[in-house]
Every structure is written in structure tokens, then in C-alpha cells.
Structure 1
Amino acid sequence: MQLISFAQDKKNINNIEFLNSEHAEKVLNFHKSFPMYEKTPLRELKNLASHLGVKNFFVKDESYRFALNAFKVLGGSFAIGSYIAKKLNMDISELPFEKMVSDEIKEKLGNITFVTATDGNHGRGVAWTAKQLGQKAIVYMPKGSSLERFNNIKAEGAEVTITDLNYDDAVRMASENAEKYGWVMVQDTSWEGYQDIPRWIIQGYGTMALEAYQQLSEQPTHIFIQAGVGALAGAVTGFFANAYKGEEKPKITIVEPNAADCIFRTAKAADGRLHFVGGEMNTMMAGLACGEPCDIGWRVLESYADYAISCDDNISAKGMRVLGAPIDSDERIISGESGAAPVGAAIEILANNKYKELRAKLGLDENSVVLCFSTEGATDIENYRAITWDGKECSCENA
């Protein structure tokens, strides 16, 4: 496990007003209009905190989100809602779920095909939203994608293909076909000329951050947040940097698999350029197996994140096992491979003396209040059991 600091020279601070509480409230109100909306739980793991020597340890459990077992639907649904609102010259506040899925709106819109690339959770959220609207979704998955995740997307009525490409090349395929056939691309990766939808997706994740903020019984001193392209990490970082100004801002640490650590590499280079990871990016953290940073998310991170961690898969496996086997009265959390990565990193730094220098650098001590986001449940049951039952990716290697 490696840790680096983001560049300390923050002269050119990027604007993060689009992730402030006012925008997050608008996003939350949109999601609250969904009849299946329920606030996901924030678990207070007091016994784990005591065991690790910190004041408290909170984990937001997104396995309950809209019965889809992951947070990703927040971004996809808000982006699609915002796209429709813009197309109809409306504000998103005028387009609650009931109206968005109405025959009136469908008649005005006509037939739309939404297309995306995904390892599973994002595509399922896009497919689910398209199904609610009576529209079509086409989903491309990277090579090696889980059959269970494939079937979950297909069950939402989408046309799904597991390609022989890595994630970033699958994104390019989706983009090329969107342009060729007039489809609407719904992706959290951004590039020149494609900014609105990824920006809306990032804002959509604000519901999760705002809920956590409202649920917290005390102010966090440290946030560990996972990154794929950096959209989620940017959303959480931007929200909490708006909520807690200056010295009050929690120390924010970005966690990635070392096979796909594009944020870590970009932060380490500190040369103003985005740095990519190519190839197959072999990691069990499928939701984080992204080699090309989202420039919108990166601009938030470079100004407001503090540290980046690149870690082995066994760090995530450790998080999955600890959350699944809680101490005493702590509540159990079923967390998937990508969801448990930040928890595993925080636990390993706190519990393993091999990382005492990292612990000191991060300022983790008996006064620390840690916040993590478990962004998915067991979305691949076979792999979840292989890790938690059979000891796959044994973290004893770190002892």
C-alpha cells in the first residue's frame, strides 16, 4: 500500500460551488420524489473504533439504495432527469419522478436510447431508469465482467454486451455508437465536448453525501473514499469541502486498486496533466478498474483532496471480511469489492504497525472520527463468498 500527498501548492483553487449544499438539496429532493426512495443507513461502528484506537468510525451502507444494491443509480437517474429537463426547457425541480415517467413526458420526448459502459452497478442504474421511462438502454461491459452483474442489467430490460475491451475502451465504443446512431451517452467519464452529463452524474452522487452529513452525530476528521474515474470521489470531496471550510475540512484520502490507480498517478506526477493506466487492469475491484480520470472530478480532487492511496486487492478483502463479521453490537455491513476498499485501507493503516508512518502522516489518533462509504453490497455473490468464506485475497500477507 502506497500513500502520496496531493500537491500542496493550491494557488489555483477550482470552483466547487456546483457541489454545495444548495445543489445537493435539489438533487436529494429529486431522489426523494421516487416512491422507492429511502435514506440508506449510516452505521456507527463504535466497537471497531475502540479496537482500532480512534474516537469513532462511520460507514454509509449503500447496499440498500433503491433495492439495486449500489449507489450508482443516484448519478445515472439524476443525469437522465437533468437531460430530459434541459431538452424540455424545464428545471429539474419541475420534473419529479411521477412527472418524469408520465405519458405526457414520454409523448414530448419520443423514443430515446440511452447508452453506457459499465462494470455493472452504473449500467444497472441507467437500465433501471430507462425502464421506468419506457425508453431503451444499451449497455457495454468490459472483458471479464461478472455474469451476475450482466444478468442484473439484462433483467432491467437493457440490451447488454460483454465486450473483449477494457473499461475505458468500452466507454469509447459507447461514445462512438452514440454519435453514430444518435443515442444519448450517460457516462461519468468526461472529456472535451462531453461535460454536462458527467457533471450531472457527479451532482447526483451528492444525495449520498448530504444524507451522510445529516446523519452524522459528530464531525468527521478523516474521510476515505474510493475512486475509479474520480467522479464519486470528486462528489464527496466537493460536498464536504463546501460543508466544512478551511481547517474544519476533514482530511480526505482517495483509495484505488494499484492495477488502476489513475488518480494516484496523476496526483503523484503533479504536472497538471491527467495520467492514464492502460491494459487489462486486473483487479477484483471491478467498479474501480478505470484507467482514465474524469477531468471534472479531478479538478475537485486536485484542489481539495489531501492524500491518495494505491493498494492491493487484499486491502479491499480485509474490509469486506471485517464489515461482514462485526465486533459485538456493531451492525453487520455486506460490502462488495469496490465498496470495502476505503474501509480496508483505513483499518490496515490503523491496525498494522507496518503503516505507523502513514498513520502519523494522516494524523490518525484517538481523537479521529473516520467516515467511509460502502458503495455496493455483494453484487457478485460468487466472488463475495470466495473472499469472505474461502479466504480469497488473504490479507495475512500484510502482517
Structure 2
Amino acid sequence: MFVSNPKAGRQPYPQALHAVMSIAKAEESRQWLAGWRRLNAGATPLYAFPDLADELGVAQVSVKDESVRSELGSFKALGAPIALVRLILRTFPAQPFDPRGLLEGRHAHLLAHFTVVSATDGNHGKGLAAAAQSIGCRCVIVLHANVSTEREQAIAAYGAKIVRIAGNYDESVQHAAELAASNGWTVVSDTSYEGYEEIPRDVMQGYGTIAAEIIEATAGQPPFTHVFLQGGVGGLAAGIVSYLWEHFAEQRPLFVMVEPEQADCLYQSALLGKPAKATGAVDSVMAGLACGETSPLAWRFLEQSVDYFMTISDEQAVAAMRRLAAGSARDIPLVAGESGVAGLAGLVQLIKRASTATELGLNGDARILLISTEGATAPGVYAELSGETAGSVLARQHAWVRP
């Protein structure tokens, strides 16, 4: 499914949105995270894929590889830690806490009884658990039925208490809220709902680091014409869109939103013109995108900026995983997880539709940006879907030499 968004415009970044998220706040978050030991030093790679660009008939395809952002294996290492730090600073204004000191654990003795809770499909929960462990507070993670045991174990390894429910993601969000209310805990969620926007805003603001690195890496080069973004509840997309929109203003790139066909809440939001729920079973192999309800806060950014919304099948995502893993003479082999390849899967489908490709300007002048948001965060799932272990792909990556 594919639809254009009549509300998307080319105006400068609105002041009302700037008051919520801005480049200045994103840069502050970036500086706070710079010393966190769980993040790898420096920017993540922005790889060119010239053979893939030739296959698709476009000028350039570039992929930002978030799998190596940290030991956590995904972009979520940028959101939850910042949200937790800002939450603690607001909650304990009388304490002499500083952001870097918190992440270094210097104030752990004062936070041992402070508890945060969140629902997750995997990556957000792992990021929150790792941040809580570094800071020294307690963390409870609620997992729904479709989260794999492999992902559960990865979160528990960071000291989080795991609570399992039988329902789906949205039901796990509700259960986390109930636990917080009955125990005096604080929800640290990456999706917003009525009366709950401050923490999701902080999560989204953390993702601005990705956009900042992209702009720095491409300084002096022609800007990207198209950016394909993953769906989910919309948080990542809002964080990236807000930064690029503020930076480029009316000259911003064309944004395309891609999500699983059975978890189409953002596509439905575009049809209805307001935050909506998915119409499918929300059981995609793209676990990080298997979300049933749009974040209202994220939608405030997306409804005015995302030019097109589309859905893809699980099979199309798997094909994209395999293409990136395979590499080629000029394309580095890349470990990209099932949720990380949605943008490429969407691009491939649009290129196959000649009239749509023409409408979007997907031609020999198009410079495409994709963000691979995760690596093999569930190694067993990755191997099953891609037909090759992540270790095998990485071995070929290390041996790859571009001619």
C-alpha cells in the first residue's frame, strides 16, 4: 500500500515544533552521551552502495549503519539513556546530579530505590536496562507474547526484571502503566499518549545524533534528495525528520515512511489525518516495527513533513536483509536486522512501479539515504531469516576490499 500525504509542505521548520525538539537540544543530548562507556567512540559509518544504486537506477544509495552504535546493537542506545538522565534531573532537582556523572554511576548510592518501567519489542528495553544499570537505578521491562526468548535474555543480561504478558505490544504498554501506578514507579516509554509526552520527547530528541552525524559526514557533498524511514510508533522518524527539517528548511529532502503491512498505524494515520491504530495483526517479523498505535507526539512532526507512507511485506524485508548481507564488488557486506532494512525494502518496491518512481523522482539524479537501525539483535532470528549467521557476514565484511 502506498499513499501521498497532502499535509506535507515545504515551509520552514515551525516554531511550535522547534519548542518541542530542536537541533540545539539534540546537540546537548549528544554531548551528554559522548562519554557513556556503552557507546562506541565516534560516528557510525555511512556506507555508499554504488552497485545497489546501479541496480535501482538511482545516482546514490547510502546506508547509515546503526548496528555498531554500541554493544546494544541498535539506534535505541541513543534514546532511552537520554530520557532516563533527563527524568532523573527533573525528579531530583535538589540533588547535585550532572548528566555525565549519572551515566558513569557516580550517584548510584542515591538512586538505588528509584525504579523505571517500560514496555518494549526488544531494543528500547535493552537500551533502558543498560542505562539503568550504568546509572544505578532499578529497571522493570514488560514484554509481550511476540518478543523472542533471545531478546528477553539480552535485556535481562543488563539486570532488568522481566515481566511477561500474553497480549501484544499495546497491551504491554498498558500493563507497564498499571505497574507504575500501583508501585510508584516511572514509565520511560518511547511512545506517547494523553498526558504523557515529556519522556517520549526526550527519547526522540536523542535520535538527533544520527541526523547530526549524517550532515557532518556529507558536508561539501550534494544533499540527499530522498530519505526512507522505518515506522514503528514514529519516534525514530520524528527525531530524524525534525533535525533535517530544521537544518534544510524548505530545501529538506523528500521523506518516505515504511512499515509492515500488518502494523500499519502510521499509514492509517496518513489516511485519517490523525493518530490511528494498525488494521493488521501486528505480528511482523520486523519486531521493532510491530506496533499497533501511532505516538501522538511523533505524529505532530510526521503529519507535516512525511511526503509518502507505504507498507511492505515480511518477505520483502527478508529479501532486503539478504541483499545487504550479500554485498558485491563495490558494496560492503552489511549485517542489517529485520527492522533495519524496511527503508531499502520500500525503496525496491517503489522502483518496481515505474509511474510511482517517476512521481517521486526516483531516477538517475536521486540520492537516497537509508538508516539500518539495528544489526543482529536476535542472532538466531537473523540467521534463520538471512540464511547466514551474523558472524559469517561480518567475516566477509572484514575481508571486503572495495576495488
Q: Name the structure 1 match of 2:301.
A: 300
The one-letter code matched in structure 2 to 1:224 is F
1:103-149: CA deviation from partner (whole Å, max 9, x where unpaired): 4x334445111111111111000010111112211111111211111
Q: Deviations over 1:335-390 (max 9, x none)?
A: 1111011111112322x3xx112211211111111001110001122222222218
Aligned to 2:136: 134
- Letter of the aligned partner of 1:5 in structure 2? S
Provide TM-score, normalisation by structure 2.
0.89
Contact 2:265 2:279 in 1 (8 A): no
Unaligned 5+ runs, structure 1: 391-399
Corresponding position of 1:220: 224
2:55 counterpart residue number? 51
User: Which consecutive unaligned segments of at least 5 residues does structure 2 have?
Assistant: 389-403
Verify: 1:268 aligned to 2:271, yes or no.
yes
Residue 89 of structure 1 is matched in structure 2 by: 93
What residue number does 1:384 align with? 382
Task: Flag the 1:138–1:279 CA change in 2: closer, same or farther, 3 A.
Answer: farther
CA distance in 2, matches of 1:278, 1:367: 36
Instruction: Within 5 Å, give how 1:1-399 maps onto structure 2.
Output: 2-8=1-7, 15-17=16-18, 18-35=20-37, 36-38=39-41, 39-89=43-93, 95-103=98-106, 105-216=107-218, 217-246=221-250, 248-270=251-273, 273-277=274-278, 280-350=281-351, 352=352, 355-389=353-387
Instruction: Check 1:74–1:9 CA distance in 2 against 1; reply closer, same or farther (3 A cut).
Output: closer
Q: Structure 1 residues 194-203 or 327-336, which shifts more? A: 327-336
| Contact 2:192–2:297 under 8 Å retained in 1 | yes
Contact kept in structure 2, 1:48 and 1:57, CA below 8 Å: yes
TM-score, structure 1 normalization: 0.90
Tell me, yes or no, if the aligned pair for 1:19 and 1:242 is still in contact at 8 Å. no
Give the whole-Å Cα distance in 1 for the aligned partners of 2:40 and 2:21.
21
Q: Which residue of 2 aligns with 1:394?
A: none
* Distance change >3 Å, CA 102–CA 158, structure 1 → 2: closer
Q: Distance in 2 between matches of 1:218 and 1:85?
A: 40
Contact 2:111 2:136 in 1 (8 A): no
Q: Deviations over 1:86-116 (max 9, x none)?
A: 1233899x7333344444x334445111111
Indicate the larger mover: 206-215 or 260-269: 206-215
What is the CA–CA distance in structure 2 between the aligned matches of 1:360 and 1:106, rounded to whole Å?
56
Change in Cα spacing, 1:228 to 1:170, as seen in structure 2 (3 Å) is same
Q: Alpha-carbon deviation of 1:310? A: 1.2
What number of residue pairs does the alignment pair up? 381
In the alignment, residue 260 of structure 1 is paired with which amino acid? A
Counterpart residue identity of residue 168, structure 1: D
Deviation at 1:8, TM superposition (A): 3.6
Cα distance in structure 2, aligned partners of 1:324 and 1:120? 22
Distance 2:293 2:149 in 1: 24
Contact 1:117/1:170 (8 A) holds in 2: yes
CA distance 1:15–1:305, shift in 2 (3 Å): farther
For residue 259 of structure 2, give the secondary structure of its aligned residue in structure 1: strand
Alpha-carbon distance between aligned partners in 1 of 2:55 and 2:385, rounded to the nearest angstrom: 23
Write the letter of the residue equivalent to 2:380.
E
With over 3 angstroms needed to count, the CA separation of the structure-2 counterparts of 1:25 and 1:43, relative to structure 1, is same
Q: Which amino acid aligns with 1:80?
A: L
Cα 1:282/1:251, change in 2 over 3 Å? same
Q: Over aligned residues, Cα RMSD in angstroms? A: 2.2
The separation in 1 between residues aligned to 2:312 and 2:156, in whole angstroms, is: 32
CA contact (8 A) 1:69 1:376 kept: yes
Residues 150/251 of structure 1: CA separation in 2 closer, same or farther (3 Å cut) = same
What percent identity do the matched residue pairs reach?
33
Question: Match for 1:167: what amino acid?
Answer: Y
Distance in 2 between the 1:347 and 1:325 partners?
16
The 2-side partners of 1:260 and 1:277 are apart by 5
Distance 2:103 2:81 in 1: 11
SS at match of 2:222: coil
Residue 267 of structure 1 deviates from its aligned partner by 0.2
Question: Which has the larger displacement, 340-349 or 8-17?
Answer: 8-17
